Amino acid sequence: MKKILTLLILLNFPAFCQQIYPVNEVEKPAEPAGGVAFLNQFIVSNMQIPIRLAAKGMNARVFVKGVVEPDGSMSEMKVIKSVDLLSDKEALRILSLYKAWKPALIKEKAVRQEAVFPVSFRTNPMPEFDSTENAIVEYFDKNNLRTADVKKYKFRNFIPTDHLGYVRSDILYQELKSDKWKTLITIPFYKKEIYAHIFGPAGIDSVKAIKSFAKTDHYESSYEELIVQADGKLLSHAVYPGSGKPPTNNKSYYLNGMLKEEQIAIDSIIKTIDWYDNGQLHSIMELGGGKGVSIKNVWERDGRQIVKDGNGWGKVKGNSWNRMAVYEEGKVLNGNKSGRWTGKLADSTLVYEEVYEGEKLVKGISYLEGNTVDYKSDFIIEPQFKGGKNKMFQFLGQNLNIFPGSSRMKGKVVVSFVVREDGHLDDYKIEQSLSGSIDNEALRVVKKMDGQWEAGSQKGKPISMRYRLPINFE
């Protein structure tokens, strides 16, 4: 036993004895890959400030001391200048996620270096947050105009929040009557366990999670959707404007809770920013505006920039393939793909090849279970009714039954369903209701469409896609 213990001590001895150098004793100090600005952007993007602190308005810095390791991580972290316990904890959490340091060098050899880094906390005051109610409360006068004058209070929005400011229960619209708030409208809160699909890590298809949102039955209603893991780490947060439109802001996270990708919709442009799993900024791209995908800037994992201002050699994330992450590579010219591009899985398996000329895809070949399929569009093509939309509307007109009383009901029913790879339909949902009988009639006719659809496709391959069909009753 004594010999085994001695051996274990000897094996671990080098790790314990590796020297930690102060910054003034190294030839090249440790620094964030890509520069300090990148690390600060990482901190801002990943920061999760408890709403009780954020609502007060913050302008403070937590100073963290640690050791930058040769592998790019920071160890032995401790707070040397505190703000408060919650802020200190958040500063340590964020810096523990960041593993993209360029280590210090002595004679071109990576060494351990002591470092101090400040984590800034800046928020504007939120007078609408009521700490006694743990809720955001917005007050309105008799004309439904926002007011801070207690004497003019007539209506209010009451939004219960969790510790980070996300909705935690029903949202209430209330009226003040006889010095008491009476609920006029309730926006119900939904929370359920799901298995969230994970795109990327080999061997992990999905994880157990909780999805929550507060939403009315109206198709046009805006809402936020939150998905968290069982341990509370975020998986995604999306802000939907309603009417079936894509999110105006959509964030997805790695399993360790670090931000992976953020999509921001401004007018007709969707800006996408994504990060490597070590915290290094990966790419900035834009989609829309009639120009397709524009590749702005791309960096390697070690912080080297390979596409600058739309020119260079791009290595970017493509659309997922059979729930697996795909990585594309090729020349970028003025923000556009140029020449030959390849799409590969993480294990370098070739999924497709494409050739671009003057911003346009001229040839694409995808490889499907040993077969090859040619295609000429790099966009995901939506499913369609055989014969087109005019045929679909004709089908609806010929099959919808108008029964007594329905003529008094005017409006729109929105039915969604999944069009499978073989064109068959399933997973029907009423996303906007008009009345029970009319909803059932709309659903009956949509189900009758089964087998009359052409599947959507990606890179020439049929894929399953959800389709939303609004049906007007006038």
Beta bridge partners of residue 467, listed in sequence order:
417
CA-angle at 19, arms to 15 and 21, nearest 5°:
140
Q: Which CATH class is domain 384-473?
A: alpha beta
Fold of 13-123: TolA/TonB C-terminal domain (3.30.2420)
| CA-wise closest residue to 326 among 163, 458, 195 | 458
CA 20 from centroid of its chain's CA atoms: 38
Which residues are within 8 A (CB) of 289 and not within 5 positions of it... i.e. 6 or more apart?
Answer: 268, 269
Residues of the chain with pLDDT under 50: 1-17
The answer to whether 66 touches 78, Cβ cutoff 8 Å, is yes
Q: For every residue of the chain, which 3-state class applies, written as one string? A: CHHHHHHHHHHHHHHHHCCEECHHHCCECCEECCCHHHHHHHHHHHCCCCHHHHCCCEEEEEEEEEEECCCCCEEEEEEEECCCHHHHHHHHHHHHHCCCEECEEECCEEEEEEEEEEEEEEECCCCCEECCCCEEEEEECCCCCECCCHHHCCEEEEEEECCCCCECCCEEEEEEECCEEEEEEEECEEEEEEEEECCCCCCCCEEEEEEEEECCCCCCCCEEEEEEECCCCEEEEEEECCCCCCCCEEEEECCCCCEEEEEEEECCEEEEEEECCCCCEEEEEEEECCCCEEEEEEECCCCCEEEECCEEEEEEECCCECCECEEEEEEEECCEEEEEEEEEECCCCEEEEEEEECCEEEEEEEEECCEEEEECCCCCECCEECCCHHHHHHHHHHHCCCCCCHHHCCEEEEEEEEECCCCCEEEEEEEECCCHHHHHHHHHHHHHCCCCEECEEECCEEECEEEEEEEEEC
How many whole angstroms separate alpha carbon 234 and alpha carbon 268?
28
pLDDT at 406: 53
Give the pair of three-digit tokens for residue 70. Answer: 């040769």
**Which residue has 């609004």 as its token pair?**
470
pLDDT digits (tens, 9 = 90+) for 140-174: 999 999 999 999 999 999 999 999 999 999 999 99
CA 157 from centroid of its chain's CA atoms: 27
pLDDT digits (tens, 9 = 90+) for 258-289: 999 999 998 889 999 999 999 999 999 998 87
pTM confidence score: 0.86
| CA-wise closest residue to 216 among 196, 243, 193, 255 | 243
> Where does residue 387 fall: left (phi above 0), alpha (psi -120 to 50 degrees), or beta otherwise?
left
Range(s) of the chain covered by CATH 3.30.2420.10: 13-123
Give the pair of three-digit tokens for residue 352. Answer: 């497709």
At CB < 8 A and 24+ separation, what contacts does 400-409 make? 400/441, 400/442, 400/445, 400/471, 401/441, 403/437, 403/441, 405/437, 406/437, 406/438, 406/441, 406/473, 409/434, 409/435, 409/438, 409/473
CA-angle at 355, arms to 349 and 359, nearest 5°:
130
Residues in the chain, total: 474
CA count, 13 A, side-chain hemisphere, 79: 17
